[in-house]
Structure 1
Amino acid sequence: MIASTDRHESARFYRDLIEAAEAASWGPFSNITLDDGVMLQFAEPPVTIQMQHYAFLVDDELFDRAYSRLIDWGVTHWADPQMTRPGDTNTEHGGRGVYFKDPAGHAIELITQPYL
């Protein structure tokens, strides 16, 4: 479950960004399904949301499309988790990566190669 300030907005953001499938939603959850069958559930807990870090391993083609969306949407992004290299991507770990915040303020990372 990913805590959200607006579960519908968060689900839509992830669905559109990483091309996830909409999944049946119920109760307090708005759901999406990733290509490998993993379901992400977004909910609005009655507490202050603490920032979490979520990383998604994507192929080069999806990275290109998602990065283009981030640019088109005007999402502030960085090449590093310390947020010292704004407006850029990195080429660490033999692939590419980018960091940004989702609508609820969580730190999101897209990478094209797993960490070794």
Structure 2
Amino acid sequence: MKAKAKRNPRLSSTWGTVSPAPDVNQPPPAGSSATELFRQYHAQRANVYVNDSLTIDFVDAQREVTSNHYCFSVSDSEFDAILARIMEAGLSFWSAPFGEPDFKVRTFMGGKGLYVMEPDGHSWEILTVSYAKPMSLAEFLSSLT
């Protein structure tokens, strides 16, 4: 199920990642955005360091924002902590990229994954094992059941 992006004057980014910030001088309400789930807070401009080749820049929007899908590879302990915050906030989550919320964690290729939808339509995927990892025929067949 794809959500449509809604106009929100507090959303934008230098590369499309967005997160609501009702008051840029205060942390967002608990569970209200991906920044809360990842324990990152806002200022007038928040630059979230992910690694040496990726930062996410949150700024006030000057235009309508298009919804997008963003995937993050995290450790098992980070996954569990993010899932706990998702559940604590009462957010819906999915084990598959489409369909209705099933409140299940996907187990695939020896890892865990889930999707959570931002109120403005951005889909955040959190996983512990990359799909880019080569899979044997036996692993593929067992993933179908």
Q: TM-score range by the shorter chain?
A: 0.7 to 0.9
Of 37, 45, 57, the match for 2:73: 57
Return the offset for 1:93. Answer: 3.0
Structure (1 or 2) with the greater helix fraction: 1
Aligned residue for 1:96, secondary structure, equals strand
1:90 paired to 2:106: yes
What percent of counterpart residues are identical? Answer: 24
1:114 paired to 2:134: no
Amino acid at match of 2:109: H
1:17 paired to 2:32: no
Point out where structure 1 has 5 or more consecutive residues left out of the alignment.
Answer: none
Q: For residues 65 and 82 of structure 1, do their structure 2 counterparts lie closer, same or farther at Cα, with a shift above 3 Å needed? A: same
Which stretches of structure 1, 4 residues or longer, exceed 4 Å deviation after superposition? none
Residue 46 of structure 1: aligned partner: 62
Structure 1 distance, partners of 2:19, 2:35, is 14
Residue 72 of structure 1: aligned partner: 88
Structure 2 distance, partners of 1:85, 1:104, is 16
- 8 Å CA contact retained: 2:19, 2:34: no
Cα RMSD, aligned residues only: 2.7
Amino acid at match of 1:18: F
- 8 Å CA contact retained: 2:74, 2:128: yes
- 8 Å CA contact retained: 1:4, 1:44: no
Return the offset for 1:114. Answer: 0.6
Amino acid at match of 2:55: M
1:105 paired to 2:125: no
Amino acid at match of 1:17: L
